[in-house]
Amino acid sequence: MGWRHLLFASWPFEPAVVAAHLPPSLEVDTYDGRAWLSVVPYLNVDVRPRSIPAGGFALPELNLRTYVTCDGEPGVYFFSLDAQGILGVLGARLFHHLPYYYARTELRAVDGEIAVTSERRHPGERPVQFAATYGPTGESFTAAPDSRAAFLTERYRYYTEDLDGRLRYADISHDRWTLSEADVSIAKNTLFRANGFAEPDGDLYAGSDSAPKSNSAPVCYYSPGTDVTTTRCQYWE
């Protein structure tokens, strides 16, 4: 896959609040004593099995994720992933047991920024609407080890559950992210409510490792993207 034009918009939450929504085999991973929920829109390009040399499809996506560990192994846990392509949604649900939902999702360049809109159309599921514009500001950088930026972006495993509640995982391989602080304007976001979380307050701002304006202000990074491969999803023993 190729992940392009990513926004990492991350809000701090009380760890107990996030833990209540996780499978019992996962533990909340924290930074400075806070759990984090991240809204991540991006364009997933050239999605294909590694055995096929070229000719994959593009899939604009929007996900809500948090940061976890399992027996000390760090990773991410997805509460939801909304995507445009029906075949991609069905394949991810069937083969990876990921909580994908069909949505009308569009991501495009507008006046030097990225504009994303998404409206969930998955039958029988809670509606989700999201609309935002974002773009880089300032110099690009690679996150320093143990920094908040690295905690929120440099994750190389995801965890999920099958229909019987058994934990599964897959490993992710890619170069370290090239990041910038991000200017972000969110016009609509019902992802938190749809996943059972209270709406965070706090103004959006171009977040870095400096202190946020308030305990609930988001930290925001932009990345132009990188190429990604994943292993097959397997059961945690």
Reported as a pLDDT band with limits 50, 70 and 90, residue 27 is: very high
Query: Is the confidence at residue 205, as pLDDT, over 70?
Result: no
What is the C-alpha separation between 117 and 169, in angstroms, rounded?
29
What is the C-alpha separation between 219 and 213, in angstroms, rounded?
10
Distances (CA, A) of 35 to 29, 48, 137: 6, 33, 26
Tell me how far apart the 2 most distant CA atoms of the chain are, in Å: 49
Global pTM reads 0.89
Query: Whose CA is closest to 93, among 42, 168, 26, 183?
Result: 168
Reported as a pLDDT band with limits 50, 70 and 90, residue 164 is: confident
Angle at 84 between CA 10 and CA 159, to 5 degrees: 50
Report pLDDT for 213.
Answer: 39
How many structural domains does the chain have?
A: 1
Q: How many angstroms separate the first and last alpha carbons of the chain?
A: 27
Reported as a pLDDT band with limits 50, 70 and 90, residue 88 is: low
Listed in sequence order, the residues at least 6 apart from 225 whose beta carbon sits closer than 8 Å to its beta carbon are 2, 3, 4, 5, 6, 42, 43
What is the C-alpha separation between 219 and 10, in angstroms, rounded?
5
The neighbour count for residue 117, using CB atoms within 10 Å, is: 20
Q: Residue 218: which CATH number?
A: 2.40.400.10
Report pLDDT for 211.
Answer: 38
Return the minimum-mean-pLDDT range out of 9-18, 30-39, 80-89.
80-89
Structural domain for 9, as ranges: 2-235
> Span 53-71, mean pLDDT?
84
What is the C-alpha separation between 80 and 106, in angstroms, rounded?
17
Reported as a pLDDT band with limits 50, 70 and 90, residue 5 is: very high
% of the chain with per-residue pLDDT over 90: 68
* CA 3, chain centre distance (Å): 11
What is the C-alpha separation between 148 and 211, in angstroms, rounded?
11
Q: Taking the CA of residue 131 as centre, how many other CA atoms within 13 Å lie in the half-sphere pointing to its CB?
A: 4
Report pLDDT for 216.
Answer: 63
By the 8 A CB rule, do 133 and 148 touch? no
pLDDT averaged over the chain?
87
Report pLDDT for 232.
Answer: 86
Report pLDDT for 212.
Answer: 39
